[in-house]
Amino acid sequence: MCNNVKSISKTSQGELSLCKNCKHFHLEFNNIYFEFTVNEFKQFKQYILNLEPDFWECKYASAGITKKIPIPTLQDNLVLMFNRQEVNQLKTLVKQPVINVYDKLITVDDVDYTLILN
Ligand SMILES: [Zn+2]
């Protein structure tokens, strides 16, 4: 179990934290819990920041679902769906400059530095 977890950012619906031991990111959001390596987090962050709610809301305009913005998972048959307000919160959570986080929490020698250059 991770017992050296530092909170990085927080919103009313979620919290992003980083474990200093295993260097994994933990993202809690409503009833969802993600765990990422540095590289996985970088990809997730990129995906979230590039999400365009307008595109998805238009694409699924006539679909009978209230949450229209998909976030795929590693499990092929599982896609997480979000609404615009939730996506905005996710963007706020992941937007933290990872490089500063590392300066603060982990010495540069601990990680492959190239992984977190943006
Ligand atoms: Zn850990």
pLDDT tens-digit profile of 39-89?
A: 999 999 999 999 999 999 999 988 888 899 999 988 999 999 999 999 999
Containing domain of residue 67, as a range? 5-98
Domain tally for the chain? 1
Measured CA to CA, the distance from residue 38 to residue 98 in angstroms comes to: 9
Expressed in angstroms and rounded, the spacing between residue 21 Cα and the centre of ligand 1 is: 5
In a 3-state reduction of DSSP, which class is residue 56?
helix
**E-strand spans in the chain?**
5-10, 14-19, 25-29, 32-36, 69-72, 79-82
Any domain includes 12: yes
Q: pLDDT at position 97, please? A: 56
What is the CA(25)–ligand 1 centre distance, in A?
Answer: 8
CB count within 10 Å of CB 55 equals: 11
- Ligand 1: distance of its center to the CA of 5 in Å? 7
- CA 2 to centroid of ligand 1, rounded, Å: 4
Between the CA of 43 and the centroid of ligand 1 the distance, in Å, is 20
Measured distance CA(84)–CA(56) in Å, rounded: 10
- Assigned domain for 113 exists: no
pTM: 0.77
Task: List the single range of 9-23, 78-92, 96-110 with lowest mean pLDDT.
Answer: 96-110
